[in-house]
Structure formats: C-alpha cells, structure tokens
Amino acid sequence: MEGIVEGCLGFLYDLLLVVCVGLLVLRVAEGRSVRWLVLLVVPGVTLSCLVHSSALKVGLVSVLCSGIHYVGREGVILPTQNKAVLITGCDSGFGHDLARFLDSTGLRVFAGVLDELSPGALELKKAASPNLTVLQLDITNSSQITQAHQYIQSQTGETGLWALVNNARVLGYLCDGEILPIKIYKKCLDVNFIGSVEITQVFLPLIRQSKGRLISISSMAGEVPLSGFAGYGASKAALISFSGAIRQELSRWGVTRG
C-alpha cells in the first residue's frame, strides 16, 4: 500500500514540475518578464530535490506553481484608455478610496457625493488628478441623477460608461426590528435599494453602449438575517435580488454584473 502511495505522489510531483515549466513557457510566449518567476523556480525545485518526503515535495511544488501563477498575473493590467467609471457614495469610506485608486490607474472617474462641500468631496477635488470629477449626486434625488447623466453623457460621447459602481448606502442605526421607526426602514430602502435601481436604469444605456459592467456593493446582512439589522438587511436583500435578476437580463447585451 505504501508503495502505491509513494508511486502516486511521485507521479503527482513530476506532473507539477511539468506544470511549472509550462507556466514559464506560457509567460514567455505572452511576452512577460520571467525574471521573478525564474527566481522562484530555481530555489523551489532545488529545495524539493533535497527533501526526501514525497508528500512534502508535492506540497512545496504546489506552492511553487501557485507562486508562479500569482506573480505571472501581475503583468495583466486592464487597459484604462477611454474608460469612464461612475461611483456613488464617494464622500468617505470605500467609495472615496475606490475613486482615488481608480483615478491613479488612469481611468476617467466620476465621483458622486452626497454633499460636494463635504470634507471628503473637497479632499477628492484637491488630491485627485484632472481625470476625476466630483459630482453632486444624491441618489434619492431624481433631478440630480438626471443632471449627472447629462453631464457624463456629454463627457463620454460614443464611448459610453464603462462601469457603474452602486456604492452609496445608509445603515441607519442598530435596533430591534420591532421598534425600529418606519422612517428608518423607508430611508434604508430609498438609499440602498430604490436609489440604486433608479440610477442603474438611467445609466444602463451608456453602460450597454460600452458593453461595460454594473457593480453593486451589497452586504452579508442581505443574505444572513442579523439581529439589529432588520431595516438595513431587508434593503440589501432587495438589492441582491434585483442584481441577480438584472444580471441574467443584461447578459445578452454583453453587460456583466459584479
């Protein structure tokens, strides 16, 4: 029995070595730098040859394969030329950081904020490149959505909008669902669901035009009921259901949803 196991491990080890070499050849064929990949392979294979345990050798080479694959992916950079992204909720937090990061990659970024005079909005205006535009965009205000759409359409022309990131959201406050005020339920639904649906409907023609993508930031609370999150979780559950349905509907147009 031990001989069979050793034989299988030996075969697996040889197979993994072949995979390592194949990955190197593939990177070379793609014109990518293999300097760091070679530095991984040489000590990795040498170390595996010095190890006597077949199981440990297989483990080492498996890690080596993963390392080659990961490092090799660093050279894959999505072209940013002529691509525009709209992100909602950029006053602070994730939306703010995402806007700055995408701006640094060269994308044309439209950063929607609840208040264009907020500290976060002013910081974006000051620190970002000319490729980033801060827009007054309360997603519960239909007129502001329309104004943002008209402006972005005038700026992107025939290229369209490459991505919409529905990030704007409101938590309200933690409270038992029994006593959470109805106005908080309505506010969560207005921002986290209705607002995201409306801005999606308005901007979809521009996204379809570029065969872009629609990204909605949801929450675990929308899938797993959590005490104290009745209002917030319900609104996120609605967003998840909407996103799942529209993903299927948009697939025939070449639009993806994240």
Of 30, 60, 59, 21, the residue nearest 44 (C-alpha): 60
Helices 2-29 and 54-73: crossing angle, nearest 10°? 20
d(CA 159, CA 204): 13
Cβ count near 88 (within 10 Å): 28
pLDDT in tens, the chain (258 residues): 556 655 565 666 556 556 655 665 565 555 555 554 555 555 555 555 655 565 665 565 566 666 656 655 544 456 767 899 999 999 999 999 999 999 998 899 999 999 999 999 999 999 889 999 999 999 999 999 999 999 999 999 888 999 999 999 998 888 899 999 999 999 999 999 999 999 999 999 999 888 889 999 988 888 888 899 999 999 999 999 999 998 888 888 777 655
Q: In which residue are the tokens 């207005």 written?
A: 190
207, 160 contact by CB (below 8 A): yes
Q: Which of 205, 214, 211, 212 is nearest to 244 (CA)?
A: 214
Q: What kind and span of H or E run contains 257?
A: strand 256-257
Phi, then psi, of 238 in degrees rounded to 5: -65, -40
**84-257: what CATH class?**
alpha beta
Can you give the residue ranges of every domain in the chain? Answer: 2-73, 84-257
How far is it, in rounded angstroms, from Cα 209 to Cα 254? 10
pLDDT at 76 (0 to 100): 45
Report the amino acid identity of residue 127. Answer: A
Alpha-carbon gap, residue 186 to 234, rounded angstroms: 11
Active site residues: 232
The rounded distance, in Å, linking the Cα atoms of 105 and 114 is 24
Q: Comparing C-alpha atoms, which of 120, 128, 123, 135 is closest to residue 86?
A: 135
